[in-house]
Amino acid sequence: INDGKDDTSSIQNCINEAIKHENAQIIFEPGIYNLNNQLVLDYTTSSIQLSGTKALNNITELHSTSEKNIIGVRGYYANPSTGSFKINDFKIKGYNKPFSAMHNKANKPNWSAAIIVTDIRNVIIDYVTIENFYGQGIQIASTNRNANGDDRFNKVEITNNRIIDVWGFHPKGDDYGDAIYLSNVVNGIVKNNYIENSLQRTKQLGRCGIVLEYLCENIKVINNQVKEGYDRPLHIENTLGGHLVENNTFYGSDLGIVVVENLDKPYKKTEILKNKISNINLRKDITYTKSYNEGNYGDRSLVFLLTNMKTKNEMIIFKNNQLKVYDDFVYNSNAIINNRSKNVSITNNEIRSLNSKKNYFIFNYAKG
């Protein structure tokens, strides 16, 4: 600690001993721990907590000195899922460089994550700062994306975290570059997180600020701030619904919220309420590549909704949100809302184009 040497082995040895016991907690003293390799937590039924120190001028920092994952938690795919993991009060600093044609990972399929968790039952990530990572900030996922029963995560809480300058560039695959990614989660809350990828520092967009995907259901996304630097601040796709998205700030993109759902599956009503959505902070002075629907004029809009369902039941409620387009920032679209779902109710939203002579439209193709 605090000596510039690699601390991976000593911490890993401590973890290996802790996971032999139920309800183990590892408490880290404040200071800087250097990691040249991934910390791996493998177990089936154990519950383990990593706790750092977070006080003024007295915090616990994990610094990556390589380009690998920092913390990897791996359960065993089972029905029901087992094991619990909690991490709190850390600063995790990655090893990444700004985007350039010479970046060794950009536009390639390889990526890493600050925290990656697979195939356990419960996860809590609280008061963790993640900085300067290529790939993913927090990834919660089952190895079997078709898992839809008790083999999914039972409960996930991601709260009070700061994720700064986490990005990834792979537009061909469009498969990484997220601050927070959840899949196969039955119940979850993503709350009070601050997410920012500064384009002035990193020179490239990440993929998504927050992702809900692959049979997630009953996720509350509340009071988060996605301020800058993501192709889509919020992306929801192929879930089972039941989500509440409320009082968030989704800034920095001309594709603020994307919802793409198959409602022919058992689907619960999703509510998107009282959010602020804007292209503000999508800078004109930096060249970067967008991915989702780029080049399809009108499809990149502050809200893009696409669902399929045989009935006209209103399963997605989009209400009391604030949408603003600023001319001082990039907006390569003629649409503010692009609705391709008849299963949507769009009511009582404030929609503004500021300081502009340009006309913008609401496209309601499916007559929601």
Quick: pLDDT tens for 335-367: 999 999 999 999 999 999 987 788 899 999 888
| Element of type H or E holding 12 | helix 8-18
Looking at residue 277, its pLDDT comes to 98
Looking at residue 57, its pLDDT comes to 81
Q: Do residues 59 and 52 make contact, with C-beta atoms less than 8 angstroms apart?
A: yes
Helix (H, G, I), strand (E, B) or coil at 47: strand
Burial 124-162 (b: 16+ CB within 10 A, else e): bbbbbbbbbbbbbbbbbbbeeeebbeebbbbebbbbbbb
Q: Do residues 128 and 115 make contact, with C-beta atoms less than 8 angstroms apart?
A: yes
Q: Quickly state the pLDDT bin for 296 (edges 50, 70, 90).
A: low
CA atoms lying within 13 Å on the CB side of residue 328:
4
d(CA 347, CA 223): 21
Q: Does 295 have pLDDT greater than 90? A: no
Amino acid symbol at 314: E
Determine whether 357 is exposed, middle or buried from the number of CB atoms within 10 Å of its CB (0-12, 13-18, 19+).
exposed
Q: Do residues 325 and 291 make contact, with C-beta atoms less than 8 angstroms apart?
A: no
Q: Do residues 111 and 105 make contact, with C-beta atoms less than 8 angstroms apart?
A: yes
Q: Quickly state the pLDDT bin for 263 (edges 50, 70, 90).
A: confident
Q: Which percentage of the chain shows pLDDT scores above 90?
A: 76
Distances (CA, A) of 124 to 17, 49, 191: 21, 9, 12
Helix/strand/coil percent split, the chain, to 5: 5, 45, 50
Looking at residue 298, its pLDDT comes to 61
Q: Does 216 have pLDDT greater than 60? A: yes
Q: pLDDT by residue (tens digit) across 32-82?
A: 999 999 999 987 778 999 999 887 788 999 999 888 889 999 998 888 889
Looking at residue 144, its pLDDT comes to 86
d(CA 301, CA 39): 40
Amino acid symbol at 174: D
Q: Do residues 168 and 107 make contact, with C-beta atoms less than 8 angstroms apart?
A: no
Q: Quickly state the pLDDT bin for 294 (edges 50, 70, 90).
A: confident
Looking at residue 265, its pLDDT comes to 77
Q: Does 163 have pLDDT greater than 70? A: yes
Q: Does 245 have pLDDT greater than 80? A: yes
Burial 16-46 (b: 16+ CB within 10 A, else e): eebbeeeebebebebebbbbeebbebebeeb
Q: Quickly state the pLDDT bin for 254 (edges 50, 70, 90).
A: very high
| Element of type H or E holding 17 | helix 8-18
Looking at residue 3, its pLDDT comes to 81
Q: Does 187 have pLDDT greater than 80? A: yes
Q: Quickly state the pLDDT bin for 297 (edges 50, 70, 90).
A: low
Distances (CA, A) of 183 to 147, 148, 322, 355: 10, 10, 28, 40
Q: Quickly state the pLDDT bin for 293 (edges 50, 70, 90).
A: confident
pTM of the model: 0.96
Question: In whole numbers, what is the pLDDT of the chain averaged over residues?
Answer: 93
Looking at residue 310, its pLDDT comes to 72
d(CA 329, CA 96): 27
